[in-house]
Structure 1
């Protein structure tokens, strides 16, 4: 077995439907991997035990045991306290104030770093993907919701005791009627895959998207990113306009971030972007550029993510390495 001082880094991506563990050597090459479904409507402890078993499965594939682990990085949905390892809230898991870092540290007997899952993905792109060598990176990942993250001078940008960059909850379109709870509409209401699917289902029902209606139907839950792409390729121009408008609203939000943070790189990722990279990138870029002060219009680039599903596990493991090695060096 590999000794801990020569050991491996584990990256973990915890999602609402699946969980993925990857074991990386010192060069961050994958040497073991394990995937399981995430349990629904169960106590946090049951999924925490499942996380440990998934990590053990990845170690088994690598021919190692827990003593080889130098550290674990885990990306979790929702706001996180990166210092204590507490997950404040993960709505899709039904979690509130779950001490993930404390539990895993005790269970696995090694240092653990807990980060937001999108922060982990953006950090992965910063270290190994399309945002390398950037001073400031902003990541926007539209999916069921819309996640965001920022790496500033090599560090994950965060608040005091809580992660930040909840881009999906940016208030947007102030001209729209307020919702029943008095809050403004948010970016997720106009640009998430769920909102795009709802508008597309309505178009199909009205006969404006014949390919989508015939091959997928009008149920929102069945309209996935790939189905939207195929509908556009088959001539459903209204679907293309729905997607473009959603992406343009993301561009409006991106313009606000450029004015606030002056990033040199904006990374777009997630299933929608992977399915329609050119459409998304062009629409976000154009809308962002149009809504900027002139001085900012040539200060950044918009790119698509390179790492796909590996971004979060790779970024989480790399962040764990950065923090644990730095802490060890400072302690010495």
Structure 2
């Protein structure tokens, strides 16, 4: 590998696993791996685990430390982007933790920290489903629902640094408390909860067979399998969820006049194109007429979105500092 090659490490930090990869400035991944987070061991343990996985991916790619220019991290929870600190991340048990400073002292590389959904959005925007646009909404549907915005070729944060939090937008004003926001109505957690209640009320579903009667096993894979088998109950619940996702996207596109939306996340990956089609059909019912030409497409990077986005964000921030 050329000594002039400038490389970056992207980190996807989660409460259970840490994903990492060596990323090129063009968004390619030279190596990738993951390791258990072990958050119960405290922040020092997590920092050591991040350093370990970074060394591992460098070794796998045959990359020396001198070839790595900077590190980008996508972390869960509320992030102070300017300070590079995690304000609060319940699944990591962190409060006001100086992640960038702590890791930089440990590795001697400059470190950029952002919200995990923002870096996923950035990855899709740069080299994934949104690479041909200047403005984009990224929405990721899994255990919860998160969103990020790229406006005029940059991540947009807003005054309170929380722009794009589409999962917390109200989509059912007359819903019961706890059943009003998009996340409460259309996340995998919400869909699984609705299915459990309906099946417990004697609505027939192939899910009972797929889970061997243990409805706590309703995850994205089970929902996708039931949907693929044409299960009527699952299809009806997903249609309802797609309606709320469509409403939320329509509202955002109408408000910001966006030309592009990328939909990703674990549930989307599991359900595939039929889910994207359902969301598109619902979105077009509710969007302002001039927003009909907005493209709503599936994520192209899958699990790599966070790693690639984090690496490319580190690249961009380093370039900004050198200007």
Shorter-normalised TM-score: what interval?
Answer: over 0.9
User: Is residue 214 of structure 2 the alignment partner of residue 224 of structure 1?
Assistant: no
Aligned to 1:327: 321
CA deviation vs aligned residue, 1:266-311 (integer Å, no higher than 9, x gap): 100011111212332222222222222223333x110000011111
Cα deviation, residue 34, structure 1: 2.5
CA deviation vs aligned residue, 1:214-271 (integer Å, no higher than 9, x gap): 1214545411112112112223111011012112101111111112211111100011
SS at match of 1:73: strand
Cα deviation, residue 27, structure 1: 4.1
SS at match of 2:95: strand
CA distance in 2, matches of 1:186, 1:281: 20
- Shift in CA distance, 199/245, structure 1 to aligned 2, threshold 3 Å: same
CA distance in 2, matches of 1:296, 1:7: 40
Cα deviation, residue 2, structure 1: 6.9
CA distance in 2, matches of 1:305, 1:17: 23
Unaligned runs of 5+ in 2: none
Contact 1:266 1:303 in 2 (8 A): yes
- Shift in CA distance, 23/193, structure 1 to aligned 2, threshold 3 Å: same
SS at match of 2:60: helix
Aligned to 1:133: 132
Aligned to 1:296: 291
Cα deviation, residue 39, structure 1: 1.4
User: Is residue 180 of structure 2 the alignment partner of residue 185 of structure 1?
Assistant: yes
Aligned to 2:253: 258
Aligned to 2:299: 305
Cα deviation, residue 206, structure 1: 3.7
CA distance in 2, matches of 1:60, 1:267: 33
Contact 1:81 1:163 in 2 (8 A): no
Unaligned runs of 5+ in 1: none
Contact 2:205 2:232 in 1 (8 A): no
CA distance in 2, matches of 1:192, 1:268: 13
Query: How many residue pairs end up in the alignment?
Result: 323
Moved more, 201-210 or 319-328: 201-210
Contact 2:8 2:69 in 1 (8 A): yes
Moved more, 75-84 or 303-312: 75-84
CA distance in 2, matches of 1:233, 1:15: 29
Cα deviation, residue 63, structure 1: 2.4
User: Is residue 281 of structure 2 the alignment partner of residue 286 of structure 1?
Assistant: yes
CA deviation vs aligned residue, 1:113-163 (integer Å, no higher than 9, x gap): 111111111111111111112121001111100010111111111134734
CA distance in 1, matches of 2:292, 2:23: 39
CA distance in 2, matches of 1:185, 1:47: 35
| TM-score (norm: length of structure 1) | 0.91
Aligned to 1:238: 233
Contact 1:122 1:139 in 2 (8 A): yes
CA distance in 1, matches of 2:98, 2:162: 15
Contact 1:136 1:262 in 2 (8 A): no
**Structural RMSD (CA):** 2.0
- Shift in CA distance, 30/293, structure 1 to aligned 2, threshold 3 Å: closer
SS at match of 2:193: helix
